[in-house]
Amino acid sequence: MRVLIDYRPALRERSGVGEYTHRLVTSLLSCYPPSSANGALELTIFSSSWKDRLRRTPELDGAAAVDRRVPVSLLNFAWHRLEWPSAEALTGRRFDVTHSLHPLLLPSRGAAQVIMIHDLDFLAHPERTRAEVRRDYPELARDHAARADRIIVPSPFTAREVERQLGVAGERIAICPPGRPDWTPRKGLPGNGYILFFGTLEPRKNVAGLLDAYERLIADAGRHVRSGDARRDGRMIPELVLAGKATGEARPWLERLTRAPLAGRVRHIGYVEPPDRQALYAGAHVLVMPSFDEGFGMPVLEAMTLGVPVVASNRGALPDVLGDAGPLVDPDDPVALGGAILRLLDDDAYAGACAAKGVLRASHFSWDRTARLVYAAYVQAVEARKPRARPR
């Protein structure tokens, strides 16, 4: 099977979509080499940018690569609005499947077309998006989903939303969750761990709500100390670390960090490269993911893999991922959010139990399984694309 994957989300600063793209490619190469008894796969990865070039690493050995010097915004406009140029014209090759890691089709003259819908927050809240996502996704997603031969989603929640909001039949949707990282669980809670938020600083992630909750924790701790009712072990509220790229909308939150009471207590460390992420999680006492909406929530899975307790929102796919391995709270309630964080900080037995449940839960997610599920979706897409025989 000849498959073209749009590798552009992984070209630089791999966030959730970029990490999924990269790990999917490497797992497909591992599970389906050309001589595989499970099914031969001829994989081509496509990249396009005016200034960023595709870097061939040993992980990508086995995949053909096509790298074009075309600006991302220009190509996206041509693909989304003109449905041109085709994959065949851009690469000079023919394919059985083209796979877009976003909700809009990668144009092709004859290949089966697969798209991935990570979430549908852009439909309900286009104001939270920017650039091509705001311009094209809300208007075009329904039509492209109707024409796709298969739609891949990362969670049961997103599958239900695609059915409900886009009118797609369930049999055309393949649930292919990401896998856990190849990390060994840490041996216990760190002595001086911090509270960690990991994700792009954008409105959907509810950074403002997290800062509100953290301010309340600081104020409450101060009142207890002044009244002589300090916490049982004498610890103060740990530092809050915000890890992730800041968008333009993040400016008011970053400005808050320069003023009391957050100044000197909250750090924004920016984008974290994949090789440095394990150490970042390992130093955390708790991960907090208070998002208004998530199609999956990869930081939750990454934290659970390492044995980091998690507080998450009760919205979107986060309950699918966290399950009973940690508290789920209303993201609009900073008191509840702060209370859940404080319990994990104060109660080591509870934090340890959540960590153990998280490690067990994470063990059920693997990238090999992801690759097999995606490959099956490719096979189904090709079958769906075949012309139906005319009745005699």
Which residue in the block uniquely carries the two structure tokens 């005016």?
50
CATH of the domain at 175: 3.40.50.2000
Same domain? 205 vs 164 = no
Burial class of 389 by CB neighbour count within 10 A (0 to 12, 13 to 18, 19+): exposed
Residue whose C-alpha is closest to residue 64's, from 44, 39, 91, 40: 44
Give the Cα separation of 362 and 357 in Å (integer). Answer: 9
Q: In what order do the strands lie in the sheet with 194-198?
A: 266-270, 240-243, 194-198, 284-289, 310-313, 328-329
Q: What percent of the chain has pLDDT over 70?
A: 94
Residues 201, 246 contacting (CB under 8 angstroms): yes
Predicted confidence band of residue 234 (pLDDT cuts 50, 70, 90)? very low
**How big is the chain, counted in residues?**
392
Torsion of CA 273, 275, 277, 280, to 10 degrees: -100
Same domain? 169 vs 255 = no
Q: How many domains does the chain have?
A: 2
- Number of H helices and number of E strands within the chain? 14, 13
Residue 392 placed within a domain: no
Q: Which positions ≥6 away from 345 have C-beta within 8 Å? A: 195, 235, 237, 238, 285, 286, 351
pLDDT (tens digit, 9 = 90+) per residue, 133-153?
A: 889 999 999 999 999 999 999
Same domain? 299 vs 324 = yes
Residue 184 placed within a domain: no
Predicted confidence band of residue 95 (pLDDT cuts 50, 70, 90)? very high
Q: Would the pLDDT of 118 be above 50?
A: yes
Predicted confidence band of residue 224 (pLDDT cuts 50, 70, 90)? low
240 beta partners = 195, 266
Residue 60 placed within a domain: yes
Q: Would the pLDDT of 107 be above 70?
A: yes
Report pLDDT for 39: 66
Predicted confidence band of residue 51 (pLDDT cuts 50, 70, 90)? confident
The average pLDDT across 248-271 equals 96
Residue whose C-alpha is closest to residue 287's, from 303, 307, 268, 267: 303
Same domain? 233 vs 318 = yes
Report pLDDT for 38: 61
The average pLDDT across 102-115 equals 97
Same domain? 371 vs 358 = no
The average pLDDT across 61-76 equals 93
Same domain? 33 vs 71 = yes
Alpha carbon 76 to its chain's center: 21
Report pLDDT for 327: 98
Alpha carbon 315 to its chain's center: 15
| Cα-Cα end-to-end distance for the chain | 31
Give the Cα separation of 78 and 82 in Å (integer). Answer: 5
pLDDT (tens digit, 9 = 90+) per residue, 168-196?
A: 999 999 999 999 999 999 998 898 899 99
Task: Write out the residue range of the structural domain in which residue 320 sits.
Answer: 194-362
In 285-347, which ranges are continuous DSSP H helix? 298-306, 318-322, 334-346
Same domain? 282 vs 167 = no
Q: Which amino acid is at 266?
A: V
Beta strands in 143-239 (DSSP E): 150-153, 173-175, 194-198
Report pLDDT for 345: 96
Q: Would the pLDDT of 378 be above 50?
A: yes
Residues 291, 315 contacting (CB under 8 angstroms): yes
Same domain? 167 vs 219 = no
Report pLDDT for 163: 98
Same domain? 222 vs 171 = no
Same domain? 135 vs 15 = yes
Residue 321 placed within a domain: yes
Report pLDDT for 211: 98
Burial class of 138 by CB neighbour count within 10 A (0 to 12, 13 to 18, 19+): middle
Predicted confidence band of residue 55 (pLDDT cuts 50, 70, 90)? confident
Give the Cα separation of 25 and 7 in Å (integer). Answer: 8
Same domain? 174 vs 248 = no
H or E element that contains 221: helix 207-226
Predicted confidence band of residue 391 (pLDDT cuts 50, 70, 90)? very low
Same domain? 370 vs 358 = no
**Average pLDDT in the chain:** 93
Give the Cα separation of 205 and 234 in Å (integer). Answer: 31
